[in-house]
Structure 1
Amino acid sequence: MTEIPYAIALTAGVLAVLNPCGFALLPAYLALVMTAGDGAEGRSAPPWRVIGRALATTAALTGGFVTVFGAFAVIVVPLALRVERHLPVVTIVIGLALVVLGGWLLAGRGLGIRLATPRPGGPRRSLRWVFGYGAAYAIASLSCTVAPFLGVTASAVSLGGPVAAAGVFLAYAAGTALVVGIVTVATALARDGVVARLRGALPYVTRAGGALLVAAGAYVAYYGWFELRVFAGGAEHDPIVGTALRIQSALNHALFSVGPAWLAVVLVVLLGAGGGLLIVLRRLARTTRGRGPSAHDRTPGG
């Protein structure tokens, strides 16, 4: 085989998002997107801003994710085996941090984080937390995903040198961004649609996100502990991990069956149709608010 494996790298990037080690970090990320403030101060952002914010968030998470993989390939590979044994400890810490965040949200508190709002002259919204989350996602996922990543990268280097390796790296990042983009845009549109139609439901959305964070964080920490037990010579079978792996495997199989090309089509359709639907919901909300109380509902001197 003399062809550079761009298609394989693209597919590997797609599947990397739903890997066994970091499987629970994706729904936890979506919970954070659902509960993050948008700085609208009582007003829903325009649809184009919602979509732009979601795409910026996608880029930040993907950037953090692939930066860790690139650094691992360039710097850490000579010490890979030694480093790998300590990765479960980091996974446990990440999981416990998510549990704490989830408990904070369940208590009715806000996180005070902001997603990027691409508005000229407006206040800047930090994406550092998203980039950092992407890096944490990648660190927790290294044990399960670094081997395919290094395989396609090494193949590209042997076939086409550093330029080909850079192309494969970008293809891998594009595959990751496809999946992250679809779920981020869908979540952002759903969140802003709920806000536009029923602002009173937002506290319940926040608490639901907190519950999801607690569950996801608990599983991430448990998986790290499971990996430590396996490294220490313990049993490689666990009922909780086994159940999660079956779910993850089914989702991975579905992603592989769909393929990157169709995922790109889904993202484009979601951007267009979702934005249009959000415009309709906003107009309906404005119409409902504009009606106000009728003359029969008013009382004298009220």
Structure 2
Amino acid sequence: MTAALLLALTAGMLGAVNPCGFALLPAYLSLLVAGASDARGAVGRALTAAAGLTMGYVLVFGAFGLALAPLAGWLRPRLPWLTVTLGVLLAVAGCWLLAGRRLPSPGWSARAPRLTRSWPSMVLFGAAYALASLGCAIAPFLAIVVTSLQAGSTGQGVALFGAYALGMGLVVAVAALGVALVRDGLVARLRVAGALVPRLSGLMPLLAGGYVAWYGWYELRLAAGRRDALRDPVIRVASEVQHALAYALDAVGPPVLLAALVLLTALGAWMRRRGRGADPAPVERTG
């Protein structure tokens, strides 16, 4: 059982950088950077967003594995079209941010909050991440988690599902914390850059969306038997980057990632306390 849990944990970590959807991770981080600081500080903002993204991701995988597995044969040839659609939508969102606009999110007021400050929006982004990743990452999930559940090992299947989610969440949380802390430090020192960050952060969703759409088109060309797809320079370069990320995560392993998460959380809490202590005391007026 311990070996199976470790395998599920590692599969979750690698699922965060799968070939189909790994470009969505930097896009998500750029949207996190675009969010304004709030009362929770960098640590709370990053962990909340990471938890929302992870929940959306694993819920889609769980629903696909348990409810839609019988339809997998019909759905799999159509998944590239879904990948293309999601990529185009993300690229449009990037253009919207580059224009200096805000992305709306599910809200309950006339003024919609920024995307990165909304828990439902992060869950939806995680779901989109998962939908774009289904073609590449669903097979290990089905083999490790769903097989146990369908075999009647409910307890083991639930434990493996939790381990998979934890692996995915570890990668996302460490990346989000690192970026959020760097963002807060830079904005505190460069006020002009801080004003440009929300606009410039649209560049990453634009590039990531373009890649995701191109990858879906690449899969469609492969399915059609087009030989030119095998020599696609964009996919070749992206594959090298994705393989390097996957090998690095596999070499680092869960213990190092967990230690990094603890250290970054402690650093964020220390930076926040230091920032509060550095606030100038109000000047009292006399007379």
- TM superposition score normalised by structure 1: 0.82
What is the correspondence of 1:205-220 to structure 2 with a 5 Å cutoff?
205-220=197-212
Contact 2:21-2:133 at 8 Å conserved across structures: yes
Query: Residue 264 of structure 1 aligns to which amino acid in structure 2?
Result: L
Aligned-residue offset at 1:229? 1.0
- Determine helix, strand or coil for the equivalent of 1:180: helix
Q: 1:252 aligns to what? A: 246
- Does the alignment pair 1:176 with 2:168? yes
Once the two structures are superposed, residues 194-230 of structure 1 have per-residue CA deviations (whole angstroms, 9 ceiling, x without a partner) of 3333332123222321111111111111111111111
Q: 1:137 aligns to what? A: 129
Q: Distance in 2 between matches of 1:252 and 1:173?
A: 17
Aligned-residue offset at 1:3? 6.3
1:111 aligned to which of 103, 117, 122: 103
Q: 2:266 aligns to what? A: 272
Q: 1:231 aligns to what? A: 223
- Determine helix, strand or coil for the equivalent of 1:86: helix
Q: Distance in 1 between matches of 2:21 and 2:277?
A: 39
Cα RMSD over matched residues? 2.5
- Determine helix, strand or coil for the equivalent of 1:20: coil
- Does the alignment pair 1:72 with 2:60? no
Q: 2:88 aligns to what? A: 96
Query: Residue 204 of structure 1 aligns to which amino acid in structure 2?
Result: L
Once the two structures are superposed, residues 49-74 of structure 1 have per-residue CA deviations (whole angstroms, 9 ceiling, x without a partner) of 43122212111110000001100111
Once the two structures are superposed, residues 56-105 of structure 1 have per-residue CA deviations (whole angstroms, 9 ceiling, x without a partner) of 21111100000011001111111112101111111111111111111112
- Determine helix, strand or coil for the equivalent of 1:245: helix
Q: Distance in 1 between matches of 2:144 and 2:104?
A: 40
Contact 1:37-1:113 at 8 Å conserved across structures: no
Query: Residue 252 of structure 2 aligns to which amino acid in structure 1?
Result: V
- Does the alignment pair 1:54 with 2:46? yes
- Does the alignment pair 1:14 with 2:13? yes
Aligned-residue offset at 1:269? 0.5
Residue 93 to residue 56, structure 1, CA distance change in 2 (3 Å):
same
Q: Distance in 1 between matches of 2:42 and 2:36?
A: 12
Q: Distance in 1 between matches of 2:191 and 2:59?
A: 37
Q: Which ranges in structure 2 are unaligned for 5 or more consecutive residues?
A: 108-116
Q: Distance in 2 between matches of 1:19 and 1:245?
A: 10
Q: 2:139 aligns to what? A: 147
Residue 226 to residue 144, structure 1, CA distance change in 2 (3 Å):
same
Runs of 4+ in 1 over 3 A off after TM superposition: 112-115, 154-160, 277-284
Q: Distance in 1 between matches of 2:123 and 2:151?
A: 32
Q: Which ranges in structure 1 are unaligned for 5 or more consecutive residues?
A: 116-124, 292-302
Q: Distance in 2 between matches of 1:191 and 1:169?
A: 33
Contact 2:41-2:272 at 8 Å conserved across structures: no
Q: Distance in 1 between matches of 2:87 and 2:4?
A: 34
Q: Percent identity?
A: 44
Aligned-residue offset at 1:273? 1.7
Contact 2:145-2:160 at 8 Å conserved across structures: yes
Query: Residue 131 of structure 1 aligns to which amino acid in structure 2?
Result: V
Q: Distance in 2 between matches of 1:83 and 1:191?
A: 40
Q: Distance in 2 between matches of 1:177 and 1:269?
A: 16
Rg (Cα) greater in structure: 1
Q: Distance in 2 between matches of 1:36 and 1:272?
A: 21
Contact 1:196-1:281 at 8 Å conserved across structures: no
Residue 253 to residue 107, structure 1, CA distance change in 2 (3 Å):
same
Query: Residue 20 of structure 2 aligns to which amino acid in structure 1?
Result: C
Deviates more, 1:138-147 or 1:153-162: 153-162
Contact 2:66-2:146 at 8 Å conserved across structures: no
Contact 1:3-1:159 at 8 Å conserved across structures: no
Q: Distance in 2 between matches of 1:109 and 1:184?
A: 23
Q: 1:295 aligns to what? A: none
